[in-house]
Each structure stands twice: as structure tokens, then as C-alpha cells.
Amino acid sequence: MNPDTPRPSTPSDPPARPGLPIGIDPANVPAFGCIVYFAREGDVFRGRVANLAGIEVTAASQREMLGQIVARFKSAVSDSLGKDETPAWIDPPAAKQAGESKLFLPVHL
């Protein structure tokens, strides 16, 4: 067969999907909701996760604060799931304190 000639598809070929091939079926990638409360205190951003115990950070920027929170959230959830345990969810989530804003982040592991 000539390499420039497209080969016919066979029943064993997976169906073509539009977009970039990423090698992972998006339906199998777990995602978890991360509720973040944060406040700016002078030149420092303080953030905490309202629905998972033990994650509080401070940072020089909101971007840095969220990056730290997402990394710690992923680590905590992955560690729990790796041990066949349920993450330490807080249900209902902790109450928002005066001066805090709320963000909801869908976090993919």
C-alpha cells in the first residue's frame, strides 16, 4: 500500500474525535468541587478551603494563593483516594467570615 494513500477505517478503529489528542478519556478524569474563601489583608491574600479540612494559605498575590490551594487540594484528595479513604470533606462547608469572598473551583486530579 502506498503511504500517501489513506487507509480505510476498520471496525476496530476508534471513532474520530475533534480536537487535540490528549490520550485520556475526559469522562474518566475525576473532578472535585473546591470551595475557597479568601480575603485581602494589606499586601497579603489569605485563603482557605471551606469544604476540605486543613487547607489554609497566605500569599503575596491572589494567583499564588489559588495555585497553592489547588496544589494542596489535589494532594489531599489524591492521597485519600490512593488509600481507599474518603477525603476529609466538611459537609456542610464552613461558614464564610466577614470580609471573605467565595470562589468555586472545579479541580481535576
Q: Indicate the pTM of the whole model.
A: 0.74
Ranking 3-7, 29-33, 48-52, 92-96 by mean pLDDT, the lowest is 3-7
Kindly report the backbone phi and psi dihedral angles of residue 62, in degrees, each rounded to the nearest multiple of 5, phi listed first.
-65, -40
For the chain, what is the mean pLDDT? 85
**Predicted confidence (pLDDT) per residue in 86-104, tens digit:** 999 999 999 999 999 999 9
Widest distance between CA atoms in the chain: 71
Q: SS3 for 101?
A: strand
Is the confidence at residue 12, as pLDDT, over 80? Answer: no
Percent above pLDDT 70 for the chain: 75
